[in-house]
Structure 1
Amino acid sequence: MTTRRTFLGTGAALGATAFADASTARASAGTASAPVPERDARAAVNQIDTDMQRHYDLLRASVARHLGPVIVVNNDAKGGEYFLVDRGRTVERLHPVGPVFELAKSVAHTPLGIYSVVAPYLSPKVPPVGNADRIDPHDLEQVAHIGPSSTAWIDPLRKFAATLETARRNLPGANMPGALEDAGRSILDSGLDFITDAVTSHSFDMQGFQDFSSAVYGHIRTTMYWASKAQIEGVHALLKRWRAQLGESAWSELYVFIFELWTTAALNQNAVIIKPCMDQKRADSHLINQMIAQFPSDPVATALDNLARIVQDNIAAEMVFPTDPDVATALAGEEDLLAQEILKQLRDCPFHTAAKK
Structure 2
Amino acid sequence: MSSNHSGKIVDKIGNRFIFYIKEETIEKEAADYHAKRKETYITHASSDIHHGQSVSVSIPTWDDPTKLAAFFAPSIEQLLPVAAWRGSDTKQILFATRDIHLTMREHYSQMIRQVGRNIFPCIIASENDMHHRGVGSMFTLYLEDGSTRRTKIPPAKYEIYKNLSHMPLCVYSIISPYFAQPTVSGWEDKLMVVNNKIIVALSTLQTQSSEHEHYRTMLTYTQEYLQQCLNDKAVHVHNFQKYCQSILPHVIVSMARAAEIQVVSAKPQLEAWKSELEAMGKWTDTYVIIPTVWPVGHDNPRQKLFQQLMTKEHFQTHVIMSEMPRDIDESFDLLGRVVGDRVAARLIFGCETPGARSMVCALSTERDLISDACQDAIEKVFENKENTGTNGILIASQLRFYAGQPTSKENEKALLHTAALLDVEEKKKNTSGEKSFD
Q: What is the TM-score of this pair, normalised by structure 2? A: 0.61
The within-5 A match list for 1:115-264 is 115-123=172-180, 147-172=181-206, 178-248=209-279, 249-264=281-296
Q: Which moved more, 1:241-250 or 1:276-285?
A: 241-250
Look up the equivalent residue of 1:63 and give its one-letter code.
V
The structure 2 residue matched to 1:327, chosen from 359, 372, 385, is 359
Aligned residue for 2:149, secondary structure, equals strand
Q: Which runs of 5+ in 1 are unaligned?
A: 1-35, 124-146
CA shift digits 1:19-64 (9 cap, x unpaired): xxxxxxxxxxxxxxxxx95233433333333333333333323322
Task: Flag the structure with more relative contact order, 1 or 2, with Cα contacts below 8 A and sequence separation at least 6.
Answer: 1
The within-5 A match list for 1:71-110 is 71-75=123-127, 76-87=133-144, 89=146, 91-110=148-167
User: What is the aligned partner in structure 2 of residue 143 from structure 1?
Assistant: none
User: What is the aligned partner in structure 2 of residue 313 from structure 1?
Assistant: 341
CA shift digits 1:306-353 (9 cap, x unpaired): 111111211221221123211211111111111221111111324899
Q: Which runs of 5+ in 2 are unaligned?
A: 1-86, 128-132, 386-438
CA contact 2:125–2:136 (8 Å) conserved in 1: no
Q: Distance in 2 between matches of 1:149 and 1:319?
A: 66
Which consecutive segments of 4 or more residues in structure 1 shift more than 6 A? none
| Deviation (angstroms), 1:90 | 5.3
Q: Distance in 1 between matches of 2:170 and 2:384?
A: 42
Q: Which moved more, 1:154-163 or 1:38-47?
A: 38-47
Please tell me whether Structure 1 or Structure 2 has the larger radius of gyration of its CA atoms: 2
Aligned residue for 1:61, secondary structure, equals helix
Look up the equivalent residue of 1:112 and give its one-letter code.
L
Aligned residue for 2:235, secondary structure, equals coil
Q: Distance in 2 between matches of 1:343 and 1:180?
A: 55
CA shift digits 1:165-197 (9 cap, x unpaired): 111121236xx9x44322221111111111111
Q: Distance in 2 between matches of 1:326 and 1:305?
A: 25
Q: Which moved more, 1:49-58 or 1:279-288?
A: 49-58
Change over 3 Å in CA distance of 1:157–1:315 after alignment to 2:
same
Aligned residue for 1:348, secondary structure, equals helix
Aligned residue for 2:282, secondary structure, equals helix
Q: Which one has the bigger helix percentage?
A: 1
| Deviation (angstroms), 1:157 | 0.9
Change over 3 Å in CA distance of 1:77–1:87 after alignment to 2:
same
CA shift digits 1:251-302 (9 cap, x unpaired): 121110010122211222211122211233211111111124xx62x41x21
User: What is the aligned partner in structure 2 of residue 111 from structure 1?
Assistant: 168
Look up the equivalent residue of 1:304 and give its one-letter code.
F
Q: What is the TM-score of this pair, normalised by structure 1? A: 0.74
Change over 3 Å in CA distance of 1:151–1:62 after alignment to 2:
closer
The alignment of Structure 1 onto Structure 2 pairs a total of residues equal to 288
Identical pairs, percent: 22
Aligned residue for 1:335, secondary structure, equals coil
User: What is the aligned partner in structure 2 of residue 14 from structure 1?
Assistant: none
Q: Distance in 1 between matches of 2:302 and 2:291?
A: 10
User: What is the aligned partner in structure 2 of residue 271 from structure 1?
Assistant: 303
Q: Distance in 1 between matches of 2:311 and 2:191?
A: 49
Q: Which moved more, 1:314-323 or 1:324-333?
A: 314-323
CA contact 2:345–2:364 (8 Å) conserved in 1: yes
Aligned residue for 2:257, secondary structure, equals helix
**Structure 1 residue 290 corresponds to structure 2 residue 322:** yes
CA contact 1:79–1:231 (8 Å) conserved in 2: no
Look up the equivalent residue of 1:184 and give its one-letter code.
Y
Change over 3 Å in CA distance of 1:200–1:46 after alignment to 2:
closer
**Structure 1 residue 347 corresponds to structure 2 residue 379:** yes
CA contact 1:260–1:268 (8 Å) conserved in 2: no
Look up the equivalent residue of 1:159 and give its one-letter code.
V
Change over 3 Å in CA distance of 1:186–1:316 after alignment to 2:
same
CA shift digits 1:208-260 (9 cap, x unpaired): 11111111111111111211111001211220222233234211211100101
Change over 3 Å in CA distance of 1:89–1:303 after alignment to 2:
farther
Q: Distance in 1 between matches of 2:115 and 2:234?
A: 60
CA contact 2:151–2:266 (8 Å) conserved in 1: no
CA contact 1:260–1:289 (8 Å) conserved in 2: yes
CA shift digits 1:75-95 (9 cap, x unpaired): 343332322112394512355
| CA RMSD after TM alignment | 2.4
Change over 3 Å in CA distance of 1:350–1:251 after alignment to 2:
closer
Q: Distance in 2 between matches of 1:225 and 1:211?
A: 22
Q: Distance in 1 between matches of 2:230 and 2:384?
A: 52
